[in-house]
Chains A and B, each alone.
Chain A
Amino acid sequence: QVQLQESGPGLVKPSQTLSLTCTVSGGSISSGSYYWSWIRQPAGKGLEWIGRIYTSGSTNYNPSLKSRVTISVDTSKNQFSLKLSSVTAADTAVYYCARGIGQLANWGQGTLVTVSS
């Protein structure tokens, strides 16, 4: 059973870049025809899809965040990563990584990122 685990700083200063990594275990990130996604959830609010990367490396981003988001994959480490630039307090949220073809069948436990000086 594949497992995903987010990691990265829990506190980021305004205007800086948020960087998170999702480590995949129990299977190769390169195997199968899966998309690897990032989703976020502000406290007490709903889910917002940030973007996804395919095993080939192709990416799709939420248009509302596209200018600030980069998702990349490191197959040698079985990881994929999120970078979100020029963060503000509005980017404070729990960030999840997930795997899915369309539906998101496997999720990490989530990591809280707070944007504050």
Chain B
Amino acid sequence: EIVMTQSPATLSVSPGERATLSCRASQSVSSNLAWYQQKPGQAPRLLIYGASTRATGIPARFSGSGSGTEFTLTISSLQSEDFAVYYCQQYNNWPPLYTFGQGTKLEIK
């Protein structure tokens, strides 16, 4: 099983500043990596897939990078609505098993 590890667990950032979230895979997942945002009481929302492609309707301030085992989600200028929990997910073809990171909580500083 591929284990996904996110860091940090909690990130405190001021509105308007940049946030950088990390995700590491225990083995290569190529670019088969997605990022989700989850707010309290809501389902996760897809932000990024293919490690760097923004999903439909996602603002340009969200960007993803990386390949293999190291990935980054960057939010360039934090808005109030961006404070939430963020998860990475790998969907490598083999084994056919999706795994999520444990999440990073992005909170207002």
Contacts and interface: CB of A to CB of B under 8 A. Distances in A.
Contacts of B49: 102-103, 105
Given A63-B1, A104-B44, A105-B55, A49 B100 contact: yes
Interface string B92-108: 01001111111100000
A72 to B, nearest CB: 17
A105 B35 CA distance: 11
Contact of A103 (B91, B97, B101): B91
Interface in B44-65: 44-46, 49-50, 55-56
A109 B43 CA distance: 6
A63 to B, nearest CB: 7
A107 B38 CA distance: 12
A103 B46 contact: yes
B96 A107 contact: no
Interface of B: 1, 32, 34, 36, 42-46, 49-50, 55-56, 87, 89, 91, 93, 96-103
Interface of A: 37, 46-49, 52, 60, 62-63, 96, 100, 102-105, 107-110
